[in-house]
Amino acid sequence: MSRGPLELHAMVLAAGASSRFGAVKQLAAVDGQPLLQRVLTRACAAADRTWVVLGAYAERLAPLVTHYEASVVTNANWIEGIASSIRSGVRHLPVTCDGVMLILGDQALLSRSRTCGGWRSPGAPHRNSI
């Protein structure tokens, strides 16, 4: 018996220290908007629920997330790399989640159509697909 439409989540990975960038990359302005907010706008539009994994600059970035319907996950082990952020986020996914799209917090050119185009289109993966 089917539950109905797939429940699809987005997980924005924004825990890194931006060491090569030389500043807090998630706060860098793109078209007048902080990069993290730009990514969140698209992620929230594409998914049924959005998660944001923060780490190195969690205190500075968390206020940006309050403007969105997104849940913050803090990765205390962010220094261990992106895999630790994925683990931190996945631990918070509910059992009703059928799929999750991992989105890097610095994907400035992310578009809504690219984000959810394949998820919601006819012929999209079914519940049992990976």
Q: Structural domain boundaries of the chain?
A: 8-117
pLDDT of residue 4: 63
pLDDT of residue 123: 57
CA dist., res. 76 & res. 15, Å (int): 9
Task: Give 75-121 pLDDT, tens digit per residue.
Answer: 999 999 999 999 999 999 999 999 999 999 988 776 666 555 555 55
pLDDT of residue 130: 37
2: pLDDT strictly greater than 90? no
8-117 folds as Spore Coat Polysaccharide Biosynthesis Protein SpsA; Chain A (3.90.550)
pLDDT of residue 59: 96
Task: Give 20-77 pLDDT, tens digit per residue.
Answer: 888 889 999 998 999 999 999 999 998 999 999 999 999 999 999 999 999 999 999 9
Q: Quickly state the pLDDT bin for 5 (edges 50, 70, 90).
A: confident
Q: Which of helix, strand or coil describes residue 85?
A: helix
128: pLDDT strictly greater than 50? no
The predicted model scores a pTM of 0.84
Main-chain dihedrals φ then ψ at residue 79, nearest 5 degrees: -65, -20
Distances (CA, A) of 72 to 1, 13, 27, 92, 128: 33, 10, 16, 10, 28
Using alpha carbons only, what angle is made at residue 101 by residues 54 and 96, rounded to the nearest 5 degrees? 95
pLDDT of residue 118: 55
127: pLDDT strictly greater than 70? no
Alpha-carbon torsion (116, 122, 125, 127), positive or negative = positive
